[in-house]
Structure 1
Amino acid sequence: INVATLQFSFLSIVLQALLSSSRGSLEPYDLLYNNAVDAFYRSDYKDVVRYMEGALSSYAEVRQTKVRCRLRCQDQHPFDSVTMDLQFFDVVLRRSNCQNECVEEKVGTQSMHKVSEDVNQDFQRRIPYNYLQLAYQKLKQLDKAAAAAHTYFQANPEHVEMDQNLEQYKALEGTDQDHFVDREARPHQMSFSAGVKLYDSADYKGAIAQFEEALQEYYKADVECRALCQGPQRFEEQDHVLYRYSLYELVSDHFTQALHCEHECVRDLSTRPGRLSPMENYLPLHYDYLQFAYFQMNMVEEAMECAQSYLLFHEGDEFMTENVEYYREAVVNTLPSSSVLVCVFVCVCTVGGPLVYDSVRLVQNSKALNGTQRVLLDDVISVDECAELTNLTVTMAGDGYRGKMSPHTPNERFEGATVLKTLQYGYEGRVPLKSARLFYDASERARRIIESYFLLNSTLHFSYTHLVCRTAIAGQQDHRNDLSHPIHADNCLLDPEANECWKEPPAYTYRDYSALLYLNGDFEGGEFIFTEMDAKTVTAQVKPKCGRMVGFSSGGENPHGVRAVTRGQRCAVALWFTLDPLFRELERLQADEVMQALDNQSSQSQWDTSLNINPKDEL
């Protein structure tokens, strides 16, 4: 190919593009969307439905047309045999012309379908479904209204009004559970969620089918996502007034942005609508579930293939490498499937480590508590120590909740104190110093027990510690149907609708383990409960009493809450721990220094008595 030939090819392509007429006709979705919004404000709900459904259909058709055309033109004009710059540009031009002709044949002139960023964001946020649910409601088409509301809410889970609308739809005659469907659901995520539910119920055959389908849908969605990255790209530096560029720099900028876009497909495909963070380890987790499910079905060769696939993502993973070796030996020697197998994420050991202190008794382990990474212990502290710590709370009478006396329910009053604050008061003589030191020592005892029992290989650090009492308010306990503390998880945002827990702010994502050390049991209500991810199904219940401690991992595997305290006062030491030293509790480090100073009889040391301590919410 010489320069003259390339120039002729380029001019021919440009001429064809200028002279070509639209052979397809698809009304632009931004125009339909605007018409629907106008109709909504005119209260013409039939037109709202007609235009908005048309806009959604047009939006989907434009997207699918771009995907099909780009994939087809990519196959017709590959870069495989390109060895020179001119050949590269020739392929780029031919591929571009192919895509333009293909798209315009299906949807019409592309300039008609150039849509503003604001409109595109509205469609990504599923705003059209908000209009649709209101329009369908006015038209008395409740089944379609329920579907539209559910679809919108999946991408906007913080929308309080839509949540209330959904509850109303569920209570209305003419709607049933089948009407609450996500019209924009992504097939690969649906199959994955279905597979997890079947796996958790030990239906391994059904789980295998769902996970295999999820993988097929995932890779299909990945191809489509990458195809959409082949279009025009925006390079922000080109907007700078001093930006100077040549042809090569422009081409380089474009393909750099395209590669970045393709890289983001991994995040996009593992992020549920309305969420900022992707599901952790999403794609490899398919193979982890599959390898164990196949093993349970005695399909060892398939299990080995999935384990080896997992290692492509996490090369050298110790546990999965052991599984591969086991499978390989099982294939050769046809070992029975009842042998012991290590599972990376989905199997958790139920046998704990030593309890450190002779007086501490194991009451229930994870299996008895119907979950994972859970433990219930008694006699962590004595009756006298419980009484002393309870009196400490009464003496200090601080709220500990940023000034809120009833942070979780208006029917109870909350009071609490931190370790550093009690030591400060003890140093000043406002509370017994012996009691303040007991609080410090009891929390350290709890930390050592949790670290040892859960067989942690690294040091467990304090993230936050709070001695807290909640008291039932007289005259406000009749017909209570709320909880003392709503169902939640400690390091992620619990999403019962999606059956997920999102590790993103404002959750304390760095927390790894939690513990509650109870000081009394002479009250009514106040039981600690574990639930399923639906925040409704109770899996275990703990009745507090002096010296009893419940410990558990802080993630979405352990949703929990507290039943209403209907009479008396419930007191406990709440503790959160982290394995990351960067998130150690600053107040605890200061308390360590105070204790060291006291132990060294350095009572002359001066320290700030006006500390403004704002404890965080807890159980």
Structure 2
Amino acid sequence: MPPQLNQFDKAAEAAHTFFMANPEHMEIQQNLKNYKTMTEAKDMRFIDREHRPHMEDYTAAVKYYDAEEYELTIEHMEEALKGYYQADVECRAMCEGPQKFVEHEYVGYKANLYEAIADHYIQMLVCEHECVRDLATRPGRLSPVENYLPLHYDFLQFSYYKVGDYKNALECAKSYLLFHPNDEDVTDNVAYYEELLAEQMNTEEFLPRKEAEKFMRRHELESKIIQTASVDLGFTYIEPDFWISHGLRQDENRVPSGVQNRLTDSQRLTSGKKTTQKIDRELQEGGPLLYDSVEFVYNSEQLNGTQRVLLDNIVSEAECKELQKIANSIMLAGDGYRGRTSPHTPNERFEGATVLKALRYGYEGRVLLKSARLFYDVSEKARRIVESYFLLNSTLYFSYTHLVCRTALAGQQDNRNDLSHPIHADNCLLDPEANECWKEPPAYTYRDYSALLYLNGDFEGGEFIFTEMDAKTITATVKPKCGRMVSFSSGGENPHGVRAVTGGQRCAVALWFTLDPLNRELERLQADEVMAVLDRHDQRADELNLNLRDEL
């Protein structure tokens, strides 16, 4: 929709800013396309008003690290650190100003001048203290990137080692240990760097970086002051665990311990970054399926490709019917597809719904809450199975989750030669003529794995197909049925599509996953919070029932 005040330049900037934090939002995508085709577009600036240079440099550095381009990793990671500490200064400066005084809960209580002043400055301190969380949180997201600041030094220590700069490697490793003093891997690295440098200089002269030491001293002191205010001055603030609440906790999935690179027969150096070790991805499958009921059907070789798997009995017949029932209760035509009834073909009707929408309807009583929770639980079950089967050594996050049905339209099925969903790849732009898949926008380049969990098979057509890069040569065909799930890596190695649904309704839970926590699905994070609230309500209800039984 055009902006109401006809300020198209500002509307374009706002839309682009929202899109950068919510790239799955179909309506915003369409709005951006509309703005770009308008006559005023030549004067428009598509600027992300909330872009964070320090995060952009960090993301670029991690990508270079994955590509084993360590000099570029160092360049961008050092820039990310400079940007982070500058952003920290700016964030803390924004806390200096009027604060809202919270009246004491006791009736008739009036704060004196000194208490009001103390409250004002403690609130400022809390605001400054929380800058660490803010700077580790991507715009549009609710949760910070875990272990964000320490990871800068961890990536740097190993990158400097790889380019032969042992002095900086030692300095960065010691900086990392300020945050995680008990990390055995990096402690071993420090010892190894000191051994390499022992003959050249006194390694005791190499200390952690000054900005890291200053940061930790300040943060620890602030924590003590805030806790003292909470206990002695009645200031209401309960600080959660330091590492969790401020995005600094070591995530054992993101930075696992015990990962080693062979140097010589007698020497080893731990990188602390299992997620970035180069592996033969074709061999990384066949892990445990986690659930006794799940049945293995075909692996990559049997499906004539790489990073593919077909599984059965992910959910039961009863669960399939329950999910179909909730689907037909809450789905809207075109939902998730920019409101277009038929995004891929005019011969079918597309309907969809997200996990958050289901939970909201359940909370409002418009559908059974247990059915909405089933949708949430089933998607989590699928995520865990994919993560386990492909032997992923880092956390797999939701990128987008969608309950979708395709219904053949009566009177439009004769002589069909189109597909229900054209051949494509999930994280790159398929170019059959060039035999390439270009990993660039508008493709969802951050997607790493995909899965489709089918809820029924009582329809005509609608088979899932894998093809070669030419988008013509079919390598495998999957006939949907209740509880069947096909999962695969999201790149150009797995072009796929859906044959025309020529009769009935085909329903499935479509899931896309990412290994990058910066690209976690916003609605999923919100759904997690809703589930946490519901779980607390259930726990309180159980406690009340238990107390009532005891009284009786």
Q: TM-score range by the shorter chain?
A: 0.3 to 0.5
After TM superposition, the score normalised by the length of structure 1 is 0.42
- Judging by fraction of residues, say which structure has more helix: 1
Which has the greater radius of gyration? 1
After TM superposition, the score normalised by the length of structure 2 is 0.47
